[in-house]
Structure 1
Amino acid sequence: MKKAMMTFWSQGYDRTSMSDLTESMGLNSPSIYAAFGSKDQLFQEVVELYLATEGQLIWSAVKAESNARSATEKMLNMSAEVFTQPHKPGGCLVTLGAIHSGKKSTEIHQLLSEKRNNATQMLKDILVQGKMSGEISEKSNVEAIADYYIAIQQGMSIKARDGAGKDSLLKIAELAMNTWNTLT
């Protein structure tokens, strides 16, 4: 399964063929279909594996923070780390796995959209807690702030895929956090 994850992560859903999967997984097509039912189902399981491993590296660190500002900063800094790991594809599978929705990949696009929206909701929940604790002004729009920082994170994913290193992404994170006081 991890080999399938690496293949989908590096190539995206649409560009990954069954022959790519058979080669990377060391299985023949009938075995893959017998085990997973379809390329779509395999990809869905790969996304869950990605979230449970790579995504968990980011979000478990975020949830360990004591306030909304440090949690948001941790999300961006950990994203810089995870998106630039050696020997792994740059960026985020959930962000980059299926950007365009063709007729054949509508369900996959919806799945990834839902997962991206879940990340936004997790950050929004953290920001709401910050608002309740008085860290964030009552007048602040936590939904817009969550959207903003998740958009920064997704942009960092694209930059990583384009070859940006960890230091470059950390600088982006630092600049984004410079807007915190204005936003909150």
Structure 2
Amino acid sequence: MMIKGEGQASKARGRPRLFDRTAALDRAMRVFWDRGYEGATFDELIAVMGLSPSSFYNAFGSKEALYREAVGAYLTGPGGFFPKALAGGGPAKDAFARLMMATAAAYTEEVGPAGCMISLAGLHDAPDRADFRDFMREVRGRSRTLMIERLDEGVRNGDLPEGADVAQIAEFFETVFRGLAVRARDGADRETLEKIGVMALDAWPGVRA
């Protein structure tokens, strides 16, 4: 004879747990951030995501597809500070000063790996992975585009001299930000990165503060 409730309890215990895709993607993103694409093994990824191989392929398709999605998660999550800092009010130089401080903070946060997930990704892959390198080059180019747009706004508002080479200014700061990512990964603290940022702002065109 079945005890009342026994059938329902057995059925509940046998039910698969719901898959939290967002949480699994976040965990995978942090592994990629820490290890890089090649350094993150398939076994490590499915373990941290709590998925079987078949569930992984059903949900994400492939390791590269997962990585591309993880890049998007980084840009809207931990990396979202970049457009937010530039979008604030005030002169263009103030926006870049905010961006420098936000970068120093984000690259040294204890809640995630040091540095930036995007800065060095896809630079050391095999020749047959040109599409992956192109993808990461395009992603890195987005930050430069955002800076150029903010600098153009500065020229229109009189924050920068008429005829300022905004593309070259953006290239300079892009190089600084990539260097900050490397320094953070090598162990530089927030204060060190902030000081570098202040020095970089001394190169601002026009009258220096």
Q: Above 0.5 in TM-score?
A: yes
Partner residue, 1:94: 118
Does 1 or 2 have the higher relative contact order (CA < 8 Å, sep 6+)? Answer: 1
How much does 1:106 deviate?
2.6
Cα distance per residue 1:85-131 (max 9 Å; x no partner): 01310111111332223235432222221111110010000001111
Structure 2: unaligned runs, 5 residues or longer? 1-24
Structure 1: which 5+ residue stretches go unaligned? none
Which residue of structure 1 aligns with residue 30 of structure 2? 6
Q: How many Å separate the matches in 2 of 1:183 and 1:56?
A: 31
Root-mean-square deviation (Å): 1.6
Work out whether 1:16 is the aligned partner of 2:40. yes
- What do residues 2-36 of structure 1 show as CA deviations (whole Å, max 9, x unaligned)? 10001000000111110110121121222111101
Range with bigger deviation, 84-93 or 96-105: 96-105
Contact 2:86 / 2:150 at 8 angstroms: preserved in 1? no
Q: Distance in 1 between matches of 2:131 and 2:89?
A: 34
Structure 1 SS opposite 2:118: helix
Supply the AA of the counterpart residue of 1:12: G
Residue 77 (str. 1) matches residue 136 (str. 2)? no
Deviation larger for 146-155 or 108-117: 108-117
Counterpart of 1:110 in structure 2 is 134
The runs of at least 4 consecutive aligned structure 1 residues that moved more than 4 Å come to: none
Distance in 1 between residues matched to 2:161 and 2:139, nearest whole Å: 28
Is structure 2 residue 111 aligned with structure 1 residue 63? no
Number of positions where the alignment pairs a residue of Structure 1 with one of Structure 2: 184
Aligned equivalent of 1:170, options 183, 190, 194: 194
Partners of 2:131 and 2:34 lie apart in 1 by: 20
Q: Percent identity?
A: 29
Q: Does the residue aligned with 1:61 lie in a helix, a strand or coil?
A: helix
- Aligned AA for 2:131? E
Task: Flag the 1:84–1:163 CA change in 2: closer, same or farther, 3 A.
Answer: same
